Structure formats: C-alpha cells, structure tokens
Structure 1
Amino acid sequence: MVLKVLHQYLDECKVAFVAIANSPFDAANANRMTCIYRSLPSKEDQEILAYGCLGLRKDQTPDDLKNIIAGLCDGYRDLLNYNDFQQIFHDRDFIYMLRELAFKPSFTSTDSDLNKIYITPMNLVTALEDNFNGITSDEFKKLTKIFFHAIENKGPIFEQPTDNRGSNLYRDVTTIMSDSMQLTSVGRRSYGRYKLVIDESDAESVVRFLFQTKVLDPNRTTVFRLSDFPNDVNNELKKC
C-alpha cells in the first residue's frame, strides 16, 4: 500500500498527519493511527450542508427554493442507495454540484439578480453533467430521473426537461470538457474541478482526439508520459 512508506515515521512518532479516505484503511495502517469513521449524514445535516454550499439561510429562503433544495438532498441520498452506479459518487460531487448552482451565472439572470439563486431544470441538468458523470448515457439519464423525481415529490412545478426542444437535451462528453476549459479564474476557484480522462487505447487516441476537437490547445498543453516499465521507474520525469 502507498502508505507503507509512513510506517517508520508513524511508529516512531516523528510525523503527524491527517488522512481522508473513502474506504477504511487496512489493518497495518489502521493499527498505527486513530481512525474516525463518518457515517452518512442525517437528512437535517444534509440540508445544513446544502444551504451552506449555496450560501443561503433557510429562514430567508423562498418556499419553492426550499422544496428544490430538500429534493436535491433526497435525490442524492437515493442515488447512494442505487446499486447500478457502483458507489462511485460521494459528498464532494454533491458539494461541487451545489457550488455550481450557486456561483455559475444563469442565462436568465440580470445584474440585479447577482446575489440571488435560481435553480432551473436546465441549470440542474448542466450541474449534474459536470459533477455526476463518468457513466454511460443511459446511466446518466437514470441518474437525472432520480434527482428530478425527488424534487417533484417536494414540488410538482419542477419538471425534468424533455428531448423535444428541437436540440439535444444532454451535452456529449467532448462538449462538457470543452465548456469546463472556458471557465474564468473566478469560476475555476468557485466550482471548477479537475478532469480525469482514462485512455484505454495503446496509441494515445484520446489525447489526439482532444487536440483535434480543440478541447486542448497543443500550444498551451504539456504532456507527461509516465512509464511503469522496470527500467523507467527510477528515471527522472520527462515531458514531451
């Protein structure tokens, strides 16, 4: 395990650290530290977290928005109990979705609305695409239904958009990544996230595709190639 390098320091009390993990440590590491396990937050704790991420006070929030926030919390809890997604989503995804809903400018907002939060069905779809992705398109459609169904149970006026708008309802992965690269510095600090792209080919096809589709600018992108061959492990990191 990667933490094995810390065993000597932990045993001799030479270093102190705080480790945060989604899974319990194995016995070799757990026996060397004090472990605190955090259970799934209660509904009340989840709502407190949501209002905090949105920068709102519950006693000053309109009833319609309260229903949407309660539905988002219920939808996230329902998602965690949905077995089809292999438990790949966590609180950080929920938190960044809320931050995007809070800080991302709305197409319908005006200068006088800058300090107000409007959560529309399309804003929610966009935030879900940006933060609850990495799954197939069919799985993502199931995911959106979970959230919208939970919100509709709180207030029927919030309906899931349909595909009959004359344009595609969902963005493809390339568009999602391209949009994320256009964030301003304020947007990146407020709700931007790193992107992990897994290329299962042997010919760097995905990297070339990102260059060809102009998601990445070759003149502003540095590619690091990390080899795990025995003769390369101890070599200095090289870029090309």
Structure 2
Amino acid sequence: MDLGISGRVAIVTGASAGIGYAVAEQLLVEGTSVVVVARDRDRLEASAASLRERTGGEVFAQPMDVSSPTAATEIMEGVMGRFGRLDILVNNAGRAHAGGLLDATEEDWEEMAALKLTSMRRMCRAAIPVLAKQRWGRIVNMSSIGGIYPNPKLLVSHVLSAAINNLTKGLALEVAPLGILVNAIGIGAVATDNWAANMIPSVRRRRPELKDAPDEEVLAVVGRESTPIGRPGLPEEIAAIAVFLASARNGFVTGDTIEASGGADRFM
C-alpha cells in the first residue's frame, strides 16, 4: 500500500533504538526523509548509519536532550535549515518508570514530566506553525495503555500517559481546521531494550520466582500473563500503526488514542 508520504519530512524523537528506530525505518521505506533525535550522540549516529544502510533513505541525526527548555526550538531550526519543511512529528522520547505516589521521589516526577510530557508539548508547539502554513501535517504521540488503565505501581508513567492522551485529544480539536491530524498510541508491553532496562527489574522485585530468570524469560512470562494474545509486542508492530497514522492514507482519524496492547486492559 502506498501511504502517500514519499518526499515528506519527519521528525522522530527517541529514535536511537526500539520503537523510535522502528518508526524511523518504516518512514524511510515509505520514501520519507527522517530527522532522528536522541540524547546520546554516539548511539544516535550509529543508529542513523544503520538506518541509511538498511533503507537507502535520507537520515539526519540531531543529538538533543528533548527535556531541555530550548530543545524543540533548536530541533526545528535544524530541520528547517536542512530541509526547509516539516510534515510529520512522532513524539516517542520517554521511558517506562516504576513508582507509586508514596515511593516515587519528587525528582522522579519532575524528570519524567520533563521528558515525556513537557518535551512533547514543546515539540508540538514548535512544529504546528510550520505544518499550518502548508495546511497538512501529522503528529503521533507515544503513550501507554496505563493512561487508560492505570497501575498504581507505575503511577509516575501512567499519570503522564493520561495527560498525553488528553493533550492529544485537545490539540487535535484545536488544529483540525489547519489540516493537521493528531493521534496517540497507547502501548502495552513491548519487547524493547528500554522496557527491559526500566521494567524488568521492577518485575523481578515483585516476583521472587523470577528473580534470577533471564530477561527473555521474564518478558515471555509477563507477555503470556498480561496479554490475551500471549506475548509481548514488537517495535515493528507499533511502528506500523504510527506510520499509518502519520500518512496521507489517514485522512479521518484524529484525537484518538489507539490501544496497542495485545488486547490487554492493564499494564502488567
């Protein structure tokens, strides 16, 4: 299926690995030029080189900590200086973070809010004037099913995910007359390095029987128990949804949070 985005320009944040990398790869396959953003310069440059080799597409690596107050402006300046346009924004920066109201620290809340929500708001605000001038644009925000079905042991992440869902809905209503569609994806358990690093230790602490199990076994057990389809998701499966939402084929879906959780109605 031709998604109608060949020749367009996209930004993907959090793109050095996992879901962000998979989204960038599928956009490149569709003929989109992609600006990949992440904070670790060396890892990002390696990922950009891999993406070029795998797809032959045009990739521009922009190392940046998106939680910085000036990041969104600097990223947009880089994109416009390189391409002179922007069509698609995929806000993927962030990570899962364990912690309830009583055990999460103030620093946890502040760091995660800056990384997941504030950076997303700033990126949208920086991108929308450019998208509005051409009367066409797509924004995809990565969220979590925890924003719909919160787990008290993951309250830091899930409160912010609920805010992302609300931001997505409200922003979609605001910019629809400008030809810009805004959607979110509520992600469940997906097998990424980020998920393993941030969530598997929490599972081990709560599940003594998995304390010494390999990461692959922990992930397999969680996938069997928490998803009706019996396994965790793959980054490529989330990317396929994101790229459709970001495409010209999507002309009527906006303001939605698409649940991509293998049928699960809870996060772990």
Per the normalisation by structure 2, the TM-score is 0.27
- Give the structure, 1 or 2, with the largest relative contact order (CA under 8 Å, sep 6 or more): 2
- TM-score, length of structure 1 as denominator length: 0.30
Q: Which has the larger radius of gyration?
A: 1
